[in-house]
Chains A and B, each alone.
Chain A
Amino acid sequence: MKTFTLRFLCADEKEYEGPCVSLKVPLSDGSAGILADHANMVAALVNGELTFDTGERQEIYAVSDGLLEIKNGEVTILAYSAERPNEIDENRAREAAERARARLRRRMSGLEYRQSQVALSRALNRLRVKKGH
Chain B
Amino acid sequence: MADTKAIANRINSIKDTKKITNAMYLISSTKLRKARKSLEDIRPFFAKLREQIGNIVRKIDVKDSRYLVYDDDPVVYEGRTGILVMTADKGLAGAYNQDVIKEALRIMGRHPDYVLFVMGEYGKHYFASHHIPVDEHFNFADIEPSLYQARMMAGNIMDRYDRGEIDSVYVIYTDFRNALASEAVTYRLLPFKISHFTESLEEEEVEFEYVPSPMEVMEKCIPVYCIGVIYSIMVYSFCCEQNDRMIAMDAANKNADDLISTLTVQYNRLRQGSITQEITEISASVKAGKREKNQ
Interface residues of A (CB under 8 A from B): 9-14, 27-29, 32, 39-44, 65-67, 69-72, 76, 78, 80, 110-111, 114-115, 118
Contacts and interface: CB of A to CB of B under 8 A. Distances in A.
Interface residues of B, number: 35
B52 A67 contact: yes
Given A28-B212, A28-B216, A111-B159, A42 B55 contact: yes
B210 A78 contact: no
Contact of A43 (B41, B147, B217): B217
Given A11-B42, A65-B220, 12 more contacts: A11-B228, A12-B42, A32-B211, A41-B211, A42-B52, A42-B208, A43-B211, A43-B217, A44-B211, A67-B49, A69-B208, A111-B137
Nearest to A45: B220
Contacts of B221: 44, 67
A124 to B, nearest CB: 18
Interface in B21-76: 38, 41-42, 44-46, 48-49, 52, 55-56
Interface of B: 38, 41-42, 44-46, 48-49, 52, 55-56, 137, 147, 151, 155-156, 159-160, 163, 206-212, 214, 216-217, 220-221, 223-224, 227-228
Which of B56, B151, B210, B217 gathers the greatest number of chain A CB atoms within 10 Å? B217
A83 to B, nearest CB: 14
11 contacts: A9-B45, A10-B45, A40-B206, A41-B208, A42-B208, A44-B216, A65-B223, A66-B224, A67-B49, A69-B48, A78-B49
A39 B209 CA distance: 8
Contacts of A29: 211-212
Nearest to B223: A65
A39 B228 CA distance: 29
Given A42-B217, A43-B217, A69 B52 contact: yes
Contact of B38 (A12, A42, A44, A110): A12
Contact of A78 (B41, B45, B55, B163): B45
A43 B220 CA distance: 10
A96 B99 CA distance: 40
Contacts of A43: 210-212, 217
